[in-house]
Amino acid sequence: MPTQTHQGPPDRAAIDAEYDPSLRVPSRQPYMDWYVRESALARTRFDCRLDLAFGPTPPETIDIFPSPKANSPLLMFIHGGYWRSLSSKEFSCVAAGLVPHGIAVAVMNYTLCPEVSIAGITAQSRAAVAWLARNAGRFGANPERIFVAGHSAGGQQVGMLLSGGASPESAAAASLIKGGIAISGLFDLRPLQHSWLQPTLQLTENLAVEQSPLLQIPRQAAPLLLSVGGDESAAFHIQSRIYLAAWRRAGLNGDFVAQPGINHYEAVYGLGDPAKPLSQAVAEFIYTQV
């Protein structure tokens, strides 16, 4: 079994200090304001098709930002919020950094915990990938050039999508993906069983293992790109470092992009501007695969 990202008896205060990014900034509100403001601006600046249903329940929607480039790659972005907050609408901003590079963007919305489990969110992510593969051509994108990206909890979803699984749905979704980008991702959920999040996430030991990409490294998978903000806690750096090492030990293609001087909330800012190093790295990663 891969090295755990947390060892020893559970210490709630220590785990919260490592995994709650709001404890590392004076206030999270300026960052939330940035997401809302920049996302509203992106929806006015770029062609978009909002609230397209990909599943049977109201939260299962996708916002599409087509690329002006015909037959473009398509990146599905999965938002963070520890599986229990935020929505697609706060992350329209990622289109601003990628559409100018000729990449269509699909920002996925999903049902939040505790209404569903993290496993339920993973199932919705897989359904969203399948929907995009069937419908990409409607938006000028190539269904054979689908990529997935996510921030924080969305990074965990990227790992689960790449890992595939035993079910036909999970294997099918993994086969449709040409690459994954996980920003400030969570790849070992076991520490969170002992955190402030547990009443909402309701993680059992089996669920924590099943939904930890670190513990679900596949034999074959699309390439992976990881990134973490330089000012994030040690736990977030350890999570990505151990995951990348396990990925590479399995003979899989994985790389890392550093973001010095950036905190957890800012780690996704670089996708809001095509000139920023993160947007450029993601665009290069995508075009290298296609």
Which two three-digit tokens encode residue 67? Answer: 């690329």
Out of 169-173, 178-182, 263-267, pick the least confident: 169-173
Q: Quick one: average pLDDT of 62-91?
A: 98
| CATH fit for domain 12-289, picks 3.40.50.1820, 3.40.190.10, 3.30.750.24, 3.40.50.920 | 3.40.50.1820
pLDDT tens by residue, 111-169: 999 999 999 999 999 999 999 999 999 999 999 999 999 999 999 999 999 998 878 88
Q: Quick one: average pLDDT of 7-29?
A: 90
pTM for this model (two decimals)? 0.95
Q: State the pLDDT at residue 164.
A: 87
The three state secondary structure string of the chain is CCCCCCCCCCCHHHHHHHHCHHHHCCCCHHHHHHHHHHHHHHHHHCCCEEEEECCCCCCCEEEEECCCCCCEEEEEEECCCCCCCCCHHHHHHHHHHHHHHCCEEEEECCCCCCCCCHHHHHHHHHHHHHHHHHHHHHHCEEEEEEEEEEECHHHHHHHHHHHCCCCHHHHHHHHHEEEEEEECCCCCCHHHHHCCCHHHHCCCHHHHHHCCHHHCCCCCCCCEEEEEECCCCHHHHHHHHHHHHHHHHCCCCEEEEEECCCCCHHHHHHHHCCCCHHHHHHHHHHHHHC
Pairwise CA distance, residues 290 & 174, whole Å: 16
Q: Is residue 64's pLDDT more than 70?
A: yes
Q: Is residue 7's pLDDT more than 80?
A: no
Pairwise CA distance, residues 138 & 235, whole Å: 41
Phi and psi at residue 285, in whole multiples of 5°?
A: -60, -45
Q: State the pLDDT at residue 1.
A: 36
Tell me the β-bridge partners of 72: 141
Confidence of residue 5 (pLDDT cuts 50, 70, 90): low
- Nearest-5° angle of CA 198, CA 106, CA 132? 100
ω into 73 cis (within 30 of 0): no
Pairwise CA distance, residues 290 & 283, whole Å: 11
Q: Is residue 48's pLDDT more than 80?
A: yes
pLDDT tens by residue, 204-236: 999 999 999 999 999 999 999 999 999 999 999
Q: Quick one: average pLDDT of 245-267?
A: 98
Residue with tokens 């062609």: 47
Q: Which residue has the higher pLDDT, 65 or 164?
A: 65
Q: Is residue 6's pLDDT more than 80?
A: no
What percent of the chain has pLDDT above 70? 97
Q: Taking all residues of the chain, what is their mean pLDDT, rounded to a whole number?
A: 95
Confidence of residue 2 (pLDDT cuts 50, 70, 90): very low
Q: Is residue 265's pLDDT more than 50?
A: yes
